[in-house]
Structure 1
């Protein structure tokens, strides 16, 4: 069973469930890192191990690529996305996600995503898996000037959806997601099935599997 930590003062009634995409709804780690590794080798002559590149998970290329001493961000992102297509066979929906989204939809909850993907990356990497139909609102990296861990993406979601932060929860898998939720004043649920380093993430809820999300609504 997932570890469910509850607010000691009151039990929140959630009306809005917001999801990160990579590492939360779909498993893209192998594709993201593999395509980046290939791009760095072929275009920049950089030989790097996958574990050295793991820091890019959860943040947009505009923030991660400069950390690799790459300054032609737009061109590098285009190439990265092109190589990503060669790794599409590595992407899959996490077990249980579709069933959980269906159950949440049946409860008439507002569902949405806040992601570091661009609009084009959502079209290419997310929409083919048939999950977009569950989402009423989407905030991508194109929608705000500042990105996770800055709270602006979640604040933008609250603005366009009209959701109350007190009855909203953001579910993600990285410390960037947690910091974004914390500074936006929204509860955070940690998706342990996609998380690689949970030690420094103080989430309101730790979910071992997607089905555990339903438990906080019962």
Structure 2
């Protein structure tokens, strides 16, 4: 077994939240700030903490709390658009049966994780979950993966991190952890990766299971 720990990002990797994230952000910006952005102007917000997205929009920090609360409430309007990517449930079941330790490293806060992810029946597959609250620095910095290693006593050479964005790749690179690109959720095939996965069960071929 080359890897002991298979660690996943959430948005764009395990669940498809793109429509909900972007449209709720668009609605919130209009309602709270009057800023009206097209959806394609907001895709940078995918895969990074909400505070970082607001910084990139040049929103004053004094407004962060109000906007983030409204954004999270607005996400609930689009909850019916959020779903597990096809093939993910079967992949996780196969990995667990094969003896892998499964983890999550996400830019979601713990509260966002509870609201957006815990209701799915795959949440109990994961033994260690690192959220944005758990580190001072976030992706693309390597700190979240370092925190995962601290919590699980895993070493970087026995871990594989799977994500859909350049932020995920940079996080893995900084932590010297092998990275697999989730092609089913990624916006770019130009992101460098140790493995390119077109569909979830491609991972099983790579692992040899």
TM-score bracket for the superposition, by shorter chain length? over 0.9
CA-to-aligned-CA distance 1:14-67 (integer Å, 9 cap, x gap): 111000000000000000000000001111111110000000001001111011
1:156 pairs with 136, 140, 147, which one? 147
Match of 2:57 in 1: 68
Q: What is the CA deviation profile of residues 94-115 of structure 1, one whole-angstrom value per residue up to 9, with x for unaligned ones?
A: 0000000000000111100000
Q: CA deviation at 1:216?
A: 1.5
Distance in 2 between the 1:130 and 1:65 partners?
Answer: 31
Q: Does 1:207 align with 2:191?
A: no
Task: Name stretches of at least 5 consecutive residues in structure 1 with no aligned partner.
Answer: 1-11
Structure 2 portions without partners, runs of 5+: none
Partner of 1:130: 121
Please give the residue correspondences for 1:91-130 in structure 2 after superposition, counting only pairs within 5 Å: 91-130=82-121
Aligned 1:183-202 pairs, distance under 5 A? 183-199=174-190, 201-202=191-192
Q: Does 1:88 align with 2:46?
A: no
Q: Name whichever of 24-33 and 163-172 sits farther off.
A: 163-172
SS, match of residue 128 in structure 1: coil
Answer yes or no: is 1:49 the counterpart of 2:48. Answer: no
Aligned residue for 1:22, secondary structure, equals: coil
Once the two structures are overlaid, the 10-residue window that deviates more, 161-170 or 144-153, is 161-170
SS in 2 for 1:112: strand
Rounded to whole Å, the distance in 1 between the matches of 2:143 and 2:22 is 26
Query: How many pairs are equivalent?
Result: 206
Query: In structure 2, what is the Cα distance between the partners aligned to 1:198 and 1:179?
Result: 15
Which residue does 1:24 correspond to in 2?
A: 13
